[in-house]
Structure 1
Amino acid sequence: MRVTAVDGTVAEAVDEGTGRPILVIHGGMGDSSAWSQVTDRLRDRYRTVRLHRRQYRLDLPRPVTMAAEVNHVAAVARTLDRPVVVGHSSGGVLALEALTADPGLYAGAVLYEPPVVIGEPLGGDRLVPARAALAKGRPGKALSIFLRDVVRMSPAQAAVAGLIIGRTGYRDRVVRQLDDNDAIDALGVRLPAYAKIDVPVLLIGGDRSPRHLAERLDALERTLPRTRRLLMHGQGHGAERDAPQRVATAIAAFVETGPA
């Protein structure tokens, strides 16, 4: 799917299946393939549309604001009939901003651990060493710092992830990951705006995820007027890869019982 947004740029997504529409927004470092294991399990019953986020489109210039990303989400959503929007990680923050900007376009939302700002900035000064590493041509090191100090992975896990990413084609997306964090920080605390979202929302978290993500879900659960929460035991922040059937089942159940 290719759709022209209001600013003239073209939004891109993978459009599969038929039935009630589900619009999927991937998280950091990803692309439209990131959630394919989940949508493969849904597209026999639903129309699944996986957005390739503007923030991670290397064919489009950076930096990319959250508002610019919302334009792409809205452009795709307008071609659908009130989709349920599924947002993972920073894609969950984007989903919240899309719901705030154009509430009538969506029937509901499934949000998997969006790192919304609830107090101090998400990255702030913690990103300075990562930017410095990037400036020295060390994207893997920059990502390791980001994962350790912002995502709050263990130092060992962050180091391994950075080493792997630094040697793959994904290294070019590291600067976009840091931009993505900056775009979230630029929003500040948006909980009062999110309190006006009047569609059903399912919040998903894993009991092995970093504690700060659960705290952010706590804040959203207190804020959103029509929400319920699902804790995925034995999972962390990547259940779309590690337990795609469980994630697909949760989304399908919400689509059938949650949205109006």
Structure 2
Amino acid sequence: MTTTTTGTVTSADGTTISYREAGQGPGLVIVHGAMQTWHSQIELAGALAGDFTCYLPDRRGRGGSGPAGADYGLAREVEDLDAVLRATGARYAVGVSSGAVITLHTALTRPAALRKAVLFEPPLGLDAADVRGSLERFDREIAEGRIPAALVTGMRAARLGPPLFNALPRRVQEWVTGLMLKSQDGAAGQEPTFRELAPTQRQDIQLVVEASGDFAAYRSVEVETLLLGGTRSRDYLRTALVELERAMPRARRVVMEGLDHGATQNAAQRGRPERVAEEIRRFLKG
């Protein structure tokens, strides 16, 4: 088990951002994705801790960090990551899924904050109108306490459900999701349950909407960047990496055989953190 210590920073709008620290060496911030907290990539941090001091923040609205706030958006998330980078002196960042969107926009708008960045499958290239349309339904289902329905809405909006799950009728998807939630209820562990994290999915849907648009917007990113993905991930995620590589002058792409969108997660969640760490280490130390 990787040993961590806890720290906090204050973001630009006064929100407290909590993080865990592990390892030794140059600073590396790992920004988690949707339905996750700092603990979701603890094994990835453990695999890198011999070479880097890893900082694992809870994004706002989760864990030990402050609330998302009424003015929530991509700009606030960029400010949060910038605050962690400044406070810790870290110059490297790894972003996972929606965390990769945050890392990418930090590189775009605050290039001096980063020396190198790793983007693992940012969910870019979706139709903004379609995704935006899911927000109203998601909000209604959360307000009505229909957590399984809201989670299905979020998964369908981001097209991130497993292929077999996606083939099911919606009512069956909600039933299966409800069973999964019940199996987590009352379970002891360091990570919040999906039921507890469900409201935060709105934040990630909003990030996808804000970041949608022409990939040409990223032509001005000068930060040296590794674009990581897996051969088993959804087509649009792999296409996004291709488009980013074309647009960004200092980006290169590595696609890992047999891995999918959950590859950075802990082994108990069917991740392959050691394999992902190999590519991150090679890039950052190269």
TM-score by length of 1: 0.89
Aligned twin of 2:170:
none
Using the TM superposition, give the Cα deviation of residue 51 of structure 1 relative to its aligned residue in structure 2, in angstroms. Answer: 1.3
Provide Cα deviations, 1:133-190, integer angstroms capped at 9, x if missing partner: 3232111221123223432424743634564246543213222112321233134426
* Alignment equivalent of 1:231, drawn from 255, 272, 279: 255
| d(CA) in 2 for partners of 1:82, 1:194 | 23
1:112 aligns with 2:120: yes
Q: Are residues 55 and 254 of structure 1, via their aligned partners in 2, closer, same or farther at CA, if it must alter by over 3 Å?
A: farther
Using the TM superposition, give the Cα deviation of residue 195 of structure 1 relative to its aligned residue in structure 2, in angstroms. Answer: 1.4
Q: Secondary structure at the match of 1:240?
A: coil
After the TM superposition, which residues 20-59 of structure 1 pair with which residues of structure 2 at under 5 Å, given as runs? 20-57=26-63, 59=66
Aligned twin of 1:148:
156
Contact in 2 for aligned 1:142/1:162 (Cα 8 Å): no
Aligned twin of 1:98:
106
Aligned twin of 1:164:
180
Aligned twin of 1:18:
24
* Alignment equivalent of 1:182, drawn from 206, 229, 253: 206
Q: Which amino acid letter does the alignment assign opposite residue 60 of structure 1?
A: P
* Alignment equivalent of 1:199, drawn from 206, 223, 229: 223
| d(CA) in 2 for partners of 1:247, 1:211 | 19
Q: Which amino acid letter does the alignment assign opposite residue 35 of structure 2?
A: M
Q: Are residues 222 and 61 of structure 1, via their aligned partners in 2, closer, same or farther at CA, if it must alter by over 3 Å?
A: closer
Q: Secondary structure at the match of 1:15?
A: strand
Q: Are residues 5 and 152 of structure 1, via their aligned partners in 2, closer, same or farther at CA, if it must alter by over 3 Å?
A: closer
Using the TM superposition, give the Cα deviation of residue 60 of structure 1 relative to its aligned residue in structure 2, in angstroms. Answer: 1.2
Aligned twin of 1:243:
272
Provide Cα deviations, 1:204-230, integer angstroms capped at 9, x if missing partner: 111111111112112211111111111
Contact in 2 for aligned 1:204/1:231 (Cα 8 Å): yes
Q: Are residues 122 and 209 of structure 1, via their aligned partners in 2, closer, same or farther at CA, if it must alter by over 3 Å?
A: farther
| d(CA) in 2 for partners of 1:29, 1:124 | 19
Q: Are residues 25 and 43 of structure 1, via their aligned partners in 2, closer, same or farther at CA, if it must alter by over 3 Å?
A: same
Structure 2 gap segments, 5+ residues each: 1-6, 167-172, 186-192, 266-270
Using the TM superposition, give the Cα deviation of residue 129 of structure 1 relative to its aligned residue in structure 2, in angstroms. Answer: 3.9
Contact in 2 for aligned 1:38/1:247 (Cα 8 Å): yes
| d(CA) in 2 for partners of 1:145, 1:156 | 16
Q: Which amino acid letter does the alignment assign opposite residue 280 of structure 2?
A: I
Structure 1 gap segments, 5+ residues each: none
Contact in 2 for aligned 1:200/1:226 (Cα 8 Å): yes
Aligned twin of 2:268:
none
| d(CA) in 1 for partners of 2:122, 2:94 | 11
| d(CA) in 2 for partners of 1:218, 1:121 | 23
Provide Cα deviations, 1:82-139, integer angstroms capped at 9, x if missing partner: 5211000000001011112211111111111001246544612244444433232111
Q: Which amino acid letter does the alignment assign opposite residue 44 of structure 1?
A: G
Q: Are residues 119 and 146 of structure 1, via their aligned partners in 2, closer, same or farther at CA, if it must alter by over 3 Å?
A: closer
| d(CA) in 1 for partners of 2:47, 2:160 | 31
Contact in 2 for aligned 1:144/1:162 (Cα 8 Å): no
Q: Are residues 189 and 89 of structure 1, via their aligned partners in 2, closer, same or farther at CA, if it must alter by over 3 Å?
A: same
| d(CA) in 1 for partners of 2:164, 2:150 | 15
Q: Are residues 59 and 82 of structure 1, via their aligned partners in 2, closer, same or farther at CA, if it must alter by over 3 Å?
A: closer
Using the TM superposition, give the Cα deviation of residue 31 of structure 1 relative to its aligned residue in structure 2, in angstroms. Answer: 0.6
TM-score by length of 2: 0.82
Q: Which amino acid letter does the alignment assign opposite residue 91 of structure 2?
A: P
| Structure 1 vs Structure 2 CA RMSD | 2.2
